[in-house]
Structure 1
Amino acid sequence: MLDKPSKSEAVPSLSHPPSVLLDVPLISQMPELPRGCEVTSLAMLLHYKGVHVSKLTLAKEIKKDPTPYRRIGQTVYFGNPNKGFVGSMTTMSRPGFGVFHGPIYELANRHLQGRAINITGSSFETVLFHLGQQKPVWVISTSTFERVPARYWRTWQTPQGPVSITYKEHSVLLTGYDNQYVYFNDPLANIKNRRFPLASFIRGWEQYGKQAITYK
């Protein structure tokens, strides 16, 4: 289950330009952070805003859930990505996963001096509105940028209760859109303004809980 933000930012009007493409500095998560897409995408957002903090600094600062990976029969016990980064961010040789919007929002707010906005749970029109205001948007989607079939989803037992995840998870920084495509900086593929069909991307984003963060 995905934690919801405690409060959301009201958007007075969802009108936005027909297309936008922002020039956001591209930062690769590799080679240091093979599971660090979330903090690297946040680093790109902060750099665009003029806050020059490194991905490695953010990787150290992000809250961690230290719950170890255990498997008993068919049941997996692991950390809660709503509470902190789960497992190892720096090596694929140890169990790991990632982190959801809550700890990222908290970290973004610290560096943006309270000006971060958690728009998780809002419609994609709200995301487009903020892009239309020349603000990139941090998101979590699936790694296929499309809905992931049910067979790839798992339920973990965490200290706070069950959490549903798929390892086909990825965080990118949205940089633009038009009537057919969404554009984003992809920290794993190391592609600036990568293009993907809008309708497909929205389906994957919605499946992973409509997680999105930007700033005032």
Structure 2
Amino acid sequence: MKIWKYILGSIILLLSTFSLYTLFVQKKYGEITFAQIIDNKKFNATSFEAKKDRLPIIKIKDTVLLDAPTIKQFPELPRGCEVTSLAMLLQYKGINVGKMELAEKIPKDTTPLIKEGSNISWGHPNDGFIGDMYSYNNPGYGVYHLPIKKLAEEYMPGKVVDLTGSEFNELKTYLSLGSPVWVITNATYNSLPDSAFETWQTPRGDVNITYRLHSVLITGYDDKYVYFNDPLNGGKNKRVSTDNFIAAWEQLGRQAVTYY
């Protein structure tokens, strides 16, 4: 019984000490993110104890604006915004790879398109690129974060981080570290009406899609705007109000990929 009381007391003391430390850090450094930056896992005591000797404390900067290269998707890749944005990210990292190489390598979902009245069956964008990336003369759509992450890992093994589903502040953390962030949004950079979406039946289940799908590379932010390189026209550090940009990003599933 005494042993169990000792163990329980030790646990309570440890938790109390850690809580006081956390409050101290938050008061001193403001908004922070711990070493889930390293492995993209939510903070917990086990991971903290295992990695505490190499966990950075990162202060989210008030403003960031990175000088990433700009690449246009046109004329070669009318539907290639996703791989073009990835090419910008990789080139910023110093990796010499172009959009056409990435377009060839990106996984493809070859599920046939079937239309029966208002019902549409096709592939899933998280299984690979859907349709024709090179021409509007044939049906096509795009690709989501999982194939992009898989392709990025070929060039940056062990360094790619999939932030999909995270809060926008997680993206700010990586930007504060100097890493631009690949994201899925839409071509209006604002939330879309329900009428802009349709439902497909796919081998992995139903998926809601919009043909206004777009991908950009986030390069910075400040207190009013999010800045990004736009493959649609080669725009560098374009800006959109933070609220509008986040609304569009969240509507498409908070998809984001970067590197550590």
TM-score, with structure 1 as normaliser? 0.94
> Equivalent residue for 2:256?
212
State the Cα distance separating 1:189 from its structure 2 match.
Answer: 2.1
Further displaced range: 168-177 or 14-23: 14-23
> Equivalent residue for 1:89?
133
> Equivalent residue for 2:74?
30
- Contact 1:141-1:208 within 8 A present in 2 as well: yes
Distance in 1, Cα, partners of 2:129 & 2:92: 24
Distance in 2, Cα, partners of 1:13 & 1:148: 37
- 1:8 partnered with 2:52: no
Percent of paired sites with the same residue: 50
Distance in 1, Cα, partners of 2:161 & 2:90: 13
> Equivalent residue for 1:100?
144
> Equivalent residue for 1:154?
198
> Equivalent residue for 2:230?
186
- 1:111 partnered with 2:139: no
Specify the code of the residue in structure 2 equivalent to 1:8: N
Higher-helix-fraction structure? 2
- 1:138 partnered with 2:175: no
State the Cα distance separating 1:9 from its structure 2 match.
Answer: 4.3
Specify the code of the residue in structure 1 equivalent to 2:151: L
> Equivalent residue for 2:111?
67
- Contact 1:16-1:128 within 8 A present in 2 as well: yes
TM-score, with structure 2 as normaliser? 0.78
State the Cα distance separating 1:161 from its structure 2 match.
Answer: 1.7
- RMSD between aligned residues: 1.4
Distance in 1, Cα, partners of 2:57 & 2:191: 29
> Equivalent residue for 2:50?
none
> Equivalent residue for 2:91?
47
How many residues end up aligned between the 2 structures?
210
Quick one: higher RCO (CA 8 Å, sep 6+), 1 or 2? 1
Specify the code of the residue in structure 2 equivalent to 1:18: D
Distance in 2, Cα, partners of 1:41 & 1:17: 24
Distance in 2, Cα, partners of 1:148 & 1:102: 23
14 and 155 in structure 1: CA distance in 2 versus 1, 3 angstrom threshold: farther
Distance in 2, Cα, partners of 1:15 & 1:37: 31
State the Cα distance separating 1:173 from its structure 2 match.
Answer: 0.2
Specify the code of the residue in structure 2 equivalent to 1:176: G
> Equivalent residue for 1:198?
242
State the Cα distance separating 1:14 from its structure 2 match.
Answer: 6.4
- Per-residue CA distance 1:173-212 (angstroms, 9 max, x = gap): 0001100001000001210111111111000000100000
Matched residue SS, 1:200: helix
Q: What 5-or-longer segments of structure 1 have no aligned partner?
A: 1-6
- 1:56 partnered with 2:100: yes
Distance in 1, Cα, partners of 2:236 & 2:164: 24
Matched residue SS, 2:206: strand
Matched residue SS, 1:161: coil
Higher-strand-fraction structure? 1
- Per-residue CA distance 1:132-178 (angstroms, 9 max, x = gap): 11110000012111111001111001122211111111100000110
- Per-residue CA distance 1:69-117 (angstroms, 9 max, x = gap): 2210110111110100000000011100000000000101111122100
Distance in 1, Cα, partners of 2:191 & 2:233: 19
